[in-house]
């Protein structure tokens, strides 16, 4: 009698609903990122709940105190509480980032929507303008615009927003071109729908999810760019608390008071990484 070799049966696949539930389950990194952004938003809205120190006036405490239970991030060269300045600076940094993203989102999406729906020479002209924006280094373009408009938080935000127009325009155009070829859009035109009616009723609502995911990603990039401008002296003027300015004020004391630059820098990095994580999660959910 010949021996029969038993083969292990393949493991059964998980039911389809369970597989989809696993895909929808939030990752730990996404939850942590949401928590970090939630705290940062609360800093911007109600900073008095998190610190009672004055972020502008110094002299009440000794300068260059190391981090402690009373001063979590230590004090700066004139005795100001660094943690308080970081908390109060969240409102300026986040507001500037939102202004920048709004400029890029509105203008860039409009350009991409018109270019993708019109086609022909209109698309060629608009996208060549976008190519020119992409060919200029972002920092150089931002500095040029700030110098023309003048220094300040709002002007820095507008400059950063202009540099983001090209990315929104390219994505919006790609989404629009794909949607314009869909059967329901052609059916809407065939039933007598006008150009603007089809554009706002059918094309724009279906293209907005991918564009909004990019907007969340751009918030982190905008915070980083605005902090860079503040570090270089082109953003919010002293003594107002702003993240880039706080780091710049402590760069001359790195050897003796590392907390002046390291701890605010870690906060900026955590917020930027968190926005990128949430933006990636939204983009994956939209696919």
pLDDT confidence bin for 3, thresholds 50/70/90: very low
DSSP per-residue letters across 22-58:
HHHSPPHHHHHHHHHHHHHHHHHH-GGGT--S-SS--
- Stretch 105-128: mean pLDDT, rounded? 89
Give the total number of structural domains in the chain: 1
Residue 26 lies in a domain: no
| Cβ-based neighbour number of residue 46 at 10 Å | 11
Cβ atoms of 48 and 38 within 8 Å: the answer is no
What is the phi/psi pair of residue 228, to 5°? -65, -45
What was the pLDDT predicted at 45? 93
pLDDT confidence bin for 287, thresholds 50/70/90: low
Q: What percent of the chain has pLDDT over 70?
A: 90
Burial class (CB within 10 angstroms; exposed 0-12, middle 13-18, buried 19+) of 34: middle
Residue 120 lies in a domain: yes
Residue 266 lies in a domain: yes
Please give the Cα distance from 142 to 279 (Å, whole number).
Answer: 23
What would the two tokens of residue 111 be?
């350009």
Residue 257 lies in a domain: yes
Q: What is the CATH number of the domain that holds 103?
A: 1.10.3720.10
Contacts made by residues 242-251, CB under 8 angstroms, sequence distance 24+: 242/89, 242/92, 242/93, 242/153, 243/86, 243/89, 243/90, 243/92, 243/93, 243/267, 243/268, 244/93, 244/268, 245/89, 246/82, 246/85, 246/86, 246/89, 249/76, 249/77, 250/76, 250/77, 250/82
Residue 21 lies in a domain: no
**Which structural domain, as residue segments, surrounds residue 205?**
91-286
What was the pLDDT predicted at 105? 93
Residue 242 lies in a domain: yes
pLDDT confidence bin for 263, thresholds 50/70/90: very high
pLDDT tens column, 151-166: 888 888 999 999 999 9
Rounded to two decimals, what is the model's pTM? Answer: 0.81
Residue 51 lies in a domain: no
- Stretch 142-152: mean pLDDT, rounded? 86
pLDDT tens column, 30-67: 899 999 999 999 999 999 898 888 888 876 678 888 88
């Amino acid at each position: 009698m010949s021996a029969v070799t038993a083969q292990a049966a393949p493991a059964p696949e998980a039911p389809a609903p369970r597989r989809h539930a696993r895909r929808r389950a939030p990752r730990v990194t996404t939850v942590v990122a949401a928590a970090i952004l939630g705290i940062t938003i609360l800093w911007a809205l109600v900073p008095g709940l998190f610190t009672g120190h004055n972020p502008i006036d110094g002299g009440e405490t000794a300068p260059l105190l190391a981090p402690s239970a009373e001063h979590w991030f230590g004090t700066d060269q004139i005795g100001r509480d660094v943690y308080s300045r970081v908390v109060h600076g969240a409102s300026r940094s986040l507001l500037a980032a939102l202004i920048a993203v709004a400029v890029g989102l509105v203008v860039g999406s409009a350009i991409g929507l018109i270019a993708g729906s019109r086609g022909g020479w209109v698309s060629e002209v608009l996208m060549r303008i976008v190519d020119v924006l992409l060919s200029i280094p972002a920092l150089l373009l931002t500095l040029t615009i700030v110098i023309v408009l003048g220094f300040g938080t709002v002007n820095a935000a507008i400059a950063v927003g202009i540099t983001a127009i090209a990315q929104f325009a390219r994505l919006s155009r790609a989404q629009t071109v794909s949607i314009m070829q869909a059967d329901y859009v052609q059916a809407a035109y065939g039933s007598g729908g006008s150009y603007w009616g089809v554009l706002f009723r059918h094309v724009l609502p279906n293209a907005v999810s991918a564009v909004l995911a990019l907007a969340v990603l751009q918030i982190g990039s905008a915070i980083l760019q605005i902090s860079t401008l503040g570090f270089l002296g082109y953003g919010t003027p002293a003594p107002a608390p702003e993240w880039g300015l706080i780091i710049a004020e402590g760069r001359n004391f790195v050897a003796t008071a590392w907390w002046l630059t390291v701890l605010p820098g870690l906060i900026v990095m955590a917020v930027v990484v968190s926005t990128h994580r949430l933006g990636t999660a939204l983009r994956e959910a939209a696919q």
